[in-house]
């Protein structure tokens, strides 16, 4: 679908990403507009909106729910009200930032989230950009021999690098995760090559934050191939770069993109709020 009547769509790069105009996502949008936004997401993998105001979390959640059920992230759930809303904050002096390594979100879950909607409450004048990489292209540009080798292979994902007692992330950054003694690791094995449930296209589905090894192989045995795939999956020609402004929104398809938050401004605050949408079994 490329004949959009309700929205405007301006691609950011050949590989991935487009800015959407002509719509206020804080409003109660009609079904036709929501359908066009979804089609733009499926075509461009990540879409961006400028000059929006969904500071009211109920408006943010209402827009999200037009695309699926809200997901509660276990490592950001401290028992607070509105546990579906995650706040990602960087303060001057933070030594670390959430998401500063290439990844897809929360892939240790049995059903990883299908998408995320991130809103900039406060963006710095420079820096703090986000990169996105097209995982269809990452798969499609592999050799036939590599595709054959990866077919049927699964990778083991867990969250031991991003939460849990003794990790020490909370001492280095403003964005907090569960590090309490009651935390338990979540682990799942997913196909390395995923077939998108809506487009039917194949893409790589692994990332350096959550994946630890291939199912049936040791960490040491898995490392050489994993490192090649990590490097390959975020080649520059597969990517776009988004510069945030206060009021900007990014909506990405977690099933077929990876992203990376650039931690390059250590002087200014960056405050974001995010929802995620429940996903399905990886096939």
Calculate mean pLDDT across residues 240-264.
98
How many CB atoms lie under 10 A from the CB of residue 146?
15
Active-site option among 73, 105, 159, 270: 105
Active-site option among 103, 190, 263, 270: 103
**Among the ranges given (2-6, 177-181, 208-212, 220-224), the one the predictor scored with the smallest mean pLDDT:** 2-6
pLDDT tens string 152-184: 999 999 999 999 999 999 999 999 999 999 999
Active-site option among 90, 255, 259, 270: 259
- Give catalytic status of residue 30 as yes or no: no
Q: Which of 57, 87, 103 lies closest to 234 in space, CA to CA?
A: 103
pLDDT exceeds 70 at position 60: yes
The two three-digit tokens of residue 258, written as one number: 């990876």
Q: Give CA–CA dist 243/237, Å, rounded.
A: 18
What's the whole-number average pLDDT of the chain? 97
Per-residue b or e along 244-272, where b marks 16 or more CB atoms closer than 10 Å to that residue's CB? bebbbbbbbbbbbbbbbbebebeeebbbb
CATH class assigned to 8-277: alpha beta
Question: Where residue 2 falls among pLDDT bands split at 50, 70, 90?
Answer: low
Q: Which of 224, 227, 16 lies closest to 135 in space, CA to CA?
A: 16
- Report domain extents, the chain: 8-277
Question: Where residue 3 falls among pLDDT bands split at 50, 70, 90?
Answer: confident
pLDDT exceeds 60 at position 1: no
Q: Give CA–CA dist 123/245, Å, rounded.
A: 5
- Give catalytic status of residue 213 as yes or no: no
Q: Give CA–CA dist 234/239, Å, rounded.
A: 7
Question: Where residue 43 falls among pLDDT bands split at 50, 70, 90?
Answer: very high
* Percentage of the chain lying above the pLDDT 70 cut: 99
pLDDT tens string 125-160: 999 999 999 999 999 999 999 999 999 999 999 999
Which residues are paired to 216 by β-bridges?
A: none
Residue with token string 């630890």: 212
pLDDT exceeds 90 at position 204: yes
Helix, strand or coil for residue 70?
Answer: strand
């Amino acid at each position: 679908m490329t004949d959009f009547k309700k929205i405007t769509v301006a691609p950011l790069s050949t590989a991935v990403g487009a800015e959407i105009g002509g719509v206020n996502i804080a409003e109660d949008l009609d079904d036709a507009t929501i359908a066009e936004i979804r089609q733009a997401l499926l075509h461009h993998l990540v879409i961006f909106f400028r000059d929006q105001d969904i500071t009211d979390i109920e408006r943010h959640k209402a827009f999200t729910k037009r695309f699926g059920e809200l997901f509660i992230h276990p490592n950001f759930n401290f028992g607070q009200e509105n546990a579906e809303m995650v706040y990602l904050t960087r303060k001057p002096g933070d030594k670390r930032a959430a998401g500063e390594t290439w990844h897809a979100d929360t892939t240790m879950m049995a059903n990883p989230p299908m998408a995320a909607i991130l809103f900039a409450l406060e963006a710095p004048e420079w820096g703090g950009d986000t990169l996105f990489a097209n995982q269809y292209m990452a798969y499609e540009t592999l050799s036939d021999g590599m595709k054959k080798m990866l077919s049927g292979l699964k990778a083991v994902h867990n969250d031991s690098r991003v939460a849990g007692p003794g990790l020490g992330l909370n001492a280095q950054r403003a964005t907090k995760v569960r590090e309490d003694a009651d935390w338990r690791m979540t682990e799942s094995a997913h196909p390395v090559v995923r077939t998108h449930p809506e487009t039917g296209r194949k893409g790589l589905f692994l990332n350096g934050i959550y994946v630890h090894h291939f199912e049936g192989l040791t960490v040491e045995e898995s490392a050489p191939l994993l490192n090649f795939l990590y490097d390959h999956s975020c080649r520059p020609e597969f990517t776009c770069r988004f510069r945030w402004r206060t009021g900007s929104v990014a909506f990405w398809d977690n099933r077929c993109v990876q992203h990376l938050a650039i931690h390059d401004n250590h002087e200014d605050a960056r405050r974001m709020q995010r929802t995620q949408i429940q996903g399905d079994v990886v096939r």
